[in-house]
Structure 1
Amino acid sequence: MSDDHVYLSLAEGHDDSDTRWAFGTGFEDPLHGVDTTVPEGVDATELAADCVALADDALVSAQRLAEWTTRAPELEEEVALANIGLDLLGQARLLYSRAGQVDGTGRGEDAYAYFRDADDFRNVRLAELPCGDFAFSIVRLLVLSSWRLAHFEKLVTHPDPVLAAIAAKGVKELTYHRQYAAEWAVRLGDGTAGSHRRIRKAMEQVAPHFGELFTACDVRDEVAAVLRQVTEAAGLPEPAVASLPGSGRDGDHTEHLVPLLAELQSVARAHPEATW
């Protein structure tokens, strides 16, 4: 199977008209007209916690993708990775805003992003690992986007209309993220001996973090199906699901999150009252 076939087959079932454009290219407000009242039967505390965790995943992932600026193999890939990061940043902003609406604090998105310490973040640890080489970043993007897309597809029917609307917008973006990563994974796996070796090593490095993802949201079957399709096309063995102890959802992070946040938050903390 060629990488084009993988790319197209993973897009089946999704409207392709706006899945290949980054956050900010359109002008439609995904929350326009959506009732922001927390519905009866929805626990506001749990809703806020879910929004923060999903936002943290997106924010930290976006920061890692931003590190590819000026470093990607080609200018086209640099732009693509930056746009994917902007998509995720947009998702984080909407989710943080919703959390501030329902958690009783009234905090804005900047308060969540810039003025919490690492212990308060609830992102999965795979998102915070260093970029590594291009192959590692592609495999991480493939796994995280497949996992997040499957999760968001479930959230489209969430009883909270705001979270459901955020998920509906995110599904379109994440479909492209997954397609992009799948295309590159096949290209590297079916390329030179060197690229095959790198993508195979990347799969092995990412595999120990699968368990944490499925604990956070059990979409194991959906993600396994995508990885099976991609690895078969790339001539790679299907990665075994493994699990390291601890979870970023519980605030148990690697040593890599603190320096990442230090860079991300430095300007806001140096000028806490600034606006721009």
Structure 2
Amino acid sequence: MALHLQRLGDDALVLGQRLCQWITRAPTLDEDLALSNIALDLVGHARTLLTRAGRLDGTGRTEDDFAYGRPDREFTNTLLTELPNGDFATTVARQLAYTHYAVLYYEQLTHCPDTELAAFGARAAKEVAFHRLHADRWTVTLGRGTEESARRMRHGLERVWPYTGELFEEDEVLRRLSASGTVPSPAPLRETWLHRVTGVLTEAGLAVPAPTWSARGGRSGLHIEEFGPLVAELQSVRRQFPGGTW
């Protein structure tokens, strides 16, 4: 189960880091604060998940070891979470896809036999539900705004959609955990996810993209070109002051 928790933790950590890049750059002061708070929630999720993964895998690694002590290829996040922010509409599209998935999956975690993990799922689902509302609201606002805002929202959706399938992929590790009842598989959630996201896009006057390809590889450590600079930014202080404490 340690690897699965590491994957979930990496998703939250990397997406949180991406959202931090909006600080002082968001369209409005309110959005600067909103995205900062969402990023803070995600980093909190990552701390819980990565700390637990370190206890379970026998290495004794801490949340800081996971965040600051691994090279790029050892991160196991989905490619969706590491996509560059692009313009604000692209970030909204990425948030729309991730938050609807995360709420569904964390709700399923509440039924885990592991009480600690179940409690985390309950808390995280409530927090990400607010992130989902934020993404839903902005999707509708941009889709039904001006011709330009709708064009940008369509472009953002087309940009992120090929990366959504990886959220629901099931490999041998996950199949084994799911079969034993240890953790749920995300694969059965895809239809519900698509139904909910489609509802938001319909309200926004937008269509679900139909990508001709599907990205994968993040779970096994294969990342996009822009991921290296993101990890370097994340780890820059630790690299400059190894062993430093604050």
- Structure 1 segments unaligned to the other structure (5+ residues): 1-46
- Structure 2 segments unaligned to the other structure (5+ residues): 171-185
Partner of 2:10: 56
Partner of 2:176: none
Matched, 1:78 2:48: no
CA distance, structure 1, for counterparts of residue 213 and residue 67 of structure 2: 28
CA distance, structure 2, for counterparts of residue 264 and residue 60 of structure 1: 9
Partner of 1:199: 153
**2:106 corresponds to which of 133, 152, 156:** 152
CA distance, structure 2, for counterparts of residue 169 and residue 240 of structure 1: 34
Q: Which amino acid aligns with 1:130?
A: P
- 2:42 match: secondary structure: helix
Q: Which amino acid aligns with 2:190?
A: R
Q: Which moved more, 1:237-246 or 1:206-215?
A: 237-246
Partner of 1:237: 207
Partner of 2:236: 266
Partner of 1:137: 91
Deviation at 1:62, TM superposition (A): 0.5
**2:169 corresponds to which of 212, 215, 235:** 215
Deviation at 1:190, TM superposition (A): 0.2
Partner of 2:173: none
Partner of 2:80: 126
| RMSD after superposition | 1.2
Deviation at 1:72, TM superposition (A): 0.6
CA distance, structure 2, for counterparts of residue 242 and residue 107 of structure 1: 40
Deviation at 1:245, TM superposition (A): 4.6
Q: How many residues align?
A: 230
Deviation at 1:240, TM superposition (A): 2.8
Q: Which amino acid aligns with 1:177?
A: H
Residue deviations 1:47-90 (CA, integer Å, cap 9, x gap): 11111100100000001100111111100011000000000000
Deviation at 1:242, TM superposition (A): 5.5
Partner of 2:22: 68
Residue deviations 1:132-179 (CA, integer Å, cap 9, x gap): 000000010110111111111111111222221111110011100000
The answer on whether the counterparts of 1:210 and 1:242 sit within 8 Å (CA) in structure 2 is no
CA distance, structure 2, for counterparts of residue 242 and residue 140 of structure 1: 18
Q: Which moved more, 1:103-112 or 1:159-168?
A: 159-168
CA distance, structure 2, for counterparts of residue 87 and residue 242 of structure 1: 33
TM-score, normalising length from structure 1? Answer: 0.81
CA distance, structure 1, for counterparts of residue 115 and residue 17 of structure 2: 28
Matched, 1:257 2:227: yes
The answer on whether the counterparts of 1:209 and 1:242 sit within 8 Å (CA) in structure 2 is no
Deviation at 1:212, TM superposition (A): 1.3
The answer on whether the counterparts of 1:210 and 1:243 sit within 8 Å (CA) in structure 2 is no
- 2:27 match: secondary structure: coil
CA distance, structure 1, for counterparts of residue 212 and residue 223 of structure 2: 17
Q: Which moved more, 1:141-150 or 1:238-247?
A: 238-247
Matched, 1:161 2:115: yes
Matched, 1:173 2:127: yes
Structure 1 residue ranges, 4+ long, deviating more than 3 angstroms after superposition? none
- 1:123 match: secondary structure: coil
- 1:89 match: secondary structure: helix
Q: Percent identity?
A: 47
Partner of 1:182: 136
CA distance, structure 2, for counterparts of residue 152 and residue 246 of structure 1: 22
CA distance, structure 2, for counterparts of residue 201 and residue 176 of structure 1: 24
The answer on whether the counterparts of 1:186 and 1:230 sit within 8 Å (CA) in structure 2 is yes
- 2:86 match: secondary structure: coil
Q: Which amino acid aligns with 1:273?
A: G
> In structure 2, do the counterparts of structure 1 residues 135 and 258 end up closer, same or farther at CA, with 3 Å as the change threshold?
same
Deviation at 1:270, TM superposition (A): 2.0
Deviation at 1:246, TM superposition (A): 3.1
> In structure 2, do the counterparts of structure 1 residues 201 and 245 end up closer, same or farther at CA, with 3 Å as the change threshold?
closer
Matched, 1:105 2:75: no
Q: Which amino acid aligns with 2:222?
A: D
Partner of 1:247: 217
